[in-house]
C-alpha cells in the first residue's frame, strides 16, 4: 500500500468542511483521489507538470466532467490547475503537490501538539545543540515531506533554538 502524507484530522479543517459542505462526499473524493493519482505518477515536489484527460478522471471518479471541474475550481487555491485550450484535459504543476497534499497547517493538529509536548518534555525545553532555553522550536530530524510516517514519532524530533534550527537547515539536515 502506498502512502501520501495528510493530517489524520483533515475532516476538521475549515477548507475540507467548506469543500464537503459545497460538494458533499464528491468533493472529498476528487480532492484526495487526485492527490493519490498524482503521487503515484510523479515524485512529490518534482518540477514536472502532469496532464490528465478529463475522461480518465470521469471514469475513475464516476462523476461528470462538469462536476469535476466545478470541484477543482473550488479547490483551485490548494490545487492550482489549468484547463487545456479544448477543455478536455487539465494540467497540474507538480511542484505544488507538497503544498496541497497536507491539508491545513500540521502544527494545529492535536497529534502535532501532543508530539511537540512530548519532545519538549523529553529534551527539557532545551536546545539539544547549544543548551539554550530561549526561542526553542521542535525540529523533525527526518523531514516530514520525505518521511511522512515519522511525523508524530517522538524519536524523530528534537528541540533546537531558532539559531541552531536555521543552521541545521542550512546544512541540509
- Claim to verify: residue 90 and residue 117 sit in the same structural domain: no
- Residue 61 φ/ψ, nearest 5 degrees: -95, -10
Q: CA Rg, the chain, in Å?
A: 19
Q: Distance between alpha carbon 152 and the CA centroid of its chain, in Å?
A: 15
- Claim to verify: residue 34 and residue 97 sit in the same structural domain: yes
- Please indicate, yes or no, if residue 5 is contained in any of the structural domains: no
- Claim to verify: residue 90 and residue 153 sit in the same structural domain: no
Angle between helices 14-23 and 25-41 (to 10 degrees): 120
In sequence order, what are the residues at sequence separation of 6 or more whose Cβ sits closer than 8 angstroms to the Cβ of residue 103?
6, 7, 10, 13, 15, 16, 78
Q: Which range marks the domain in which residue 18 is found?
A: 10-101
- pLDDT tens string, the chain, 173 residues long: the values are 344 555 555 666 777 888 889 999 999 898 888 877 776 666 555 557 778 889 999 999 999 999 998 998 888 766 667 777 677 888 876 665 554 454 345 555 677 778 889 999 999 999 999 999 998 989 989 887 677 778 888 999 999 998 998 888 887 65
- Which helix (H) or strand (E) element contains residue 136? strand 136-140
- Claim to verify: residue 97 and residue 17 sit in the same structural domain: yes
- Claim to verify: residue 95 and residue 34 sit in the same structural domain: yes
In this prediction, residue 118 carries a pLDDT of: 93
- Claim to verify: residue 26 and residue 48 sit in the same structural domain: yes
Tally of domains in the chain:
2
In this prediction, residue 126 carries a pLDDT of: 95
Q: What is the pTM of this model?
A: 0.52
- Claim to verify: residue 122 and residue 153 sit in the same structural domain: yes
Amino acid at each position: 500500500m502506498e502512502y501520501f502524507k495528510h493530517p489524520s484530522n483533515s475532516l476538521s479543517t475549515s477548507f475540507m468542511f467548506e469543500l464537503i459542505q459545497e460538494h458533499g462526499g464528491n468533493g472529498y473524493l476528487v480532492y484526495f483521489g487526485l492527490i493519490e493519482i498524482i503521487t503515484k505518477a510523479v515524485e512529490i515536489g518534482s518540477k514536472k507538470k502532469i496532464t490528465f484527460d478529463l475522461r480518465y478522471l470521469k471514469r475513475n471518479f464516476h462523476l461528470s466532467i462538469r462536476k469535476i471541474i466545478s470541484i477543482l475550481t473550488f479547490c483551485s487555491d490548494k490545487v492550482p490547475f489549468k484547463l487545456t485550450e479544448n477543455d478536455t484535459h487539465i494540467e497540474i504543476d507538480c511542484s505544488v503537490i507538497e503544498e496541497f497534499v497536507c491539508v491545513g497547517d500540521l502544527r494545529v493538529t492535536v497529534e502535532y501538539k501532543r508530539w511537540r509536548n512530548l519532545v519538549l518534555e523529553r529534551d527539557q525545553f532545551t536546545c539539544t545543540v547549544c543548551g539554550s532555553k530561549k526561542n526553542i522550536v521542535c525540529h523533525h530530524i527526518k523531514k516530514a515531506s520525505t518521511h511522512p510516517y515519522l511525523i508524530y514519532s517522538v524519536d524523530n524530533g528534537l528541540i533546537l533554538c531558532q539559531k541552531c534550527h536555521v543552521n541545521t537547515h542550512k546544512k541540509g539536515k
